[in-house]
Each structure stands twice: as C-alpha cells, then as structure tokens.
Amino acid sequence: MARAQPLPAAAALVFTSALCAFVTPACAETQTYTYEVEHPTFGHIGTYTNIIEQSGNHTHVESVLHVVVRLLGITMYRQDATRSEDWRNGRLVAFNGITTTNGTSVDVAGEAHGNSFVITTPDGTTLAPADVRTSNPWSPGFLGAHVVMSTKSGRIEDVRISGGGETPVTFDGKTQTLRQYLINGEKPGIVWLDNRNVPIAFKVWENGTPIQLVLISPAVPLRWTAIQSQYEQPGDPVTRPVR
C-alpha cells in the first residue's frame, strides 16, 4: 500500500486557504491591542485591552480595563470594566458593558433598531442615531464619528474630529512620527495613528486630568473590511491602511 506523503508547505497553505474560503463562511482573525494607562502624577496605573475578532462583515470587540491608584500602599481609586461591541457592515449593532468604580457598578446596554441605536442605562433609555460610534477608538473608523456614546456611562454627545497631520510624538522615551487627531466635544481627546492606521496612543481628560493610553503590544493593522463604515462619506478623514 502506498504511503501518504506530507504536503509541501506551499500546497498546505493553499489547501488551508481553500478550507477557509469554502468550508466556513469566513476565517476569523483576532488582534489584541494592550495599552498602558498613564497618569501624570501616579505614572503607570493599569492596562486597557481591546481584543478584536473579525469574520466576514462582522467584527466583535472585547475591551477590558484595570486601573488602580495607590498612595503609600493604600488604594485611593480603582476602576475595572468589561465591555463588548458588535459591528456589522460598519454599523454598531450591539453593546454591553459594566464599569465598576470604587465598588459602584454601572451597566450599559445598546442594540440597533431600525434607524436608531437604543441605549439603556440606570438613568433610562436613550435613542442615538444609527451611525453612532463608541468612545473606544479601536479602529480609524472612529475618525468619521459625529455622535459618540460613552462606553462608561452610555451618554451620547456630538463631536467634531479634526487634524490628521503628521507630528513627532514621544511615548516612553521613543519618538515616532504619527498622525494626530483632535476630538472636540464635551470630553476632549487626542488620538494618534501610525501610517498603517493602528491607534498607537490616545489621551482623554477625566475630571480635568489628562489620562494617556499607549500601545505596548505589537502594532498589527486591521483588515480594511473591518474598519470601514457604510456611513462613511467622501472626504471623511479615514484612509486605507498601507500594506
């Protein structure tokens, strides 16, 4: 009886690709982005992680936040959060999140209904427009946002995002040239992207204190199909990733 011969590496790759294309609707890809959370006074205070799974026109984002501020060994502040986002064809179709701050938890849920996105919080129900984006800048699609939902509170606000020019920025002693975008709204912010549209860092102001999040995991770009939005209009400040 003839013995089966192992497939050459190239043939094995083609065979695996064929399985992805024909046996399943789409092969899921997962990227993990971990950011160090930095406080101007207390330094490194925690981590923030986005785990992004892409499959066809569907993207699932899991976010985990752990922050602890200690002074002389005493915990002065603690915040933990777990959140999930589901996107289909560039539209937010579901959101669930719980944020616990110093022992007090806030639950936020949202679901797409027709031309609206229905948000439920402890304060009640709010209707947001269908093109609402979350305050989590996990992809450059965030740059086309006009209305943003806070992943912490569920509140919505109008925003205007400007900029995009290249500027040298130094994080943890390393200088790199990044595109800088300013978020103008009730809670201002800054997002820095590299030339492959990976969010390298972002800054938010919490009660007047600038909190900076800097990527410490590999900067792997997302697939274009996962970051573009059906609501993008010509001239929106989102550019195709460089491969």
The answer to the question of residue 18 being in a domain is no
- Residue 10, domain member (yes or no): no
Stretch among 2-6, 102-106, 148-152 having the lowest mean pLDDT: 2-6
In this predicted structure, the answer to whether residue 5 has a pLDDT above a threshold of 90 is no
Q: How many distinct structural domains can be found in the chain? A: 1
pLDDT (0 to 100) of residue 224: 56
Mean local confidence (pLDDT), 145-156: 96
100-112 residues labelled b (16+ CB within 10 A) or e (exposed): eeeeeebebebeb
On whether residue 235 sits in a domain, the answer given is no
pLDDT at 18: 42
- β-strand partners of 150: none
Residue 5 lies in a domain: no
What residues contact residue 133 under an 8 Å CB cut-off, 6+ apart? 92, 141, 142, 144, 145, 147, 148, 149
Q: Which helix (H) or strand (E) holds 15?
A: helix 9-22
Q: Is residue 157 part of a domain?
A: yes
Half-sphere exposure of 242 (CA within 13 A, CB side): 7
The whole domain housing 37 covers 28-227
**Residue 17 located in a structural domain:** no
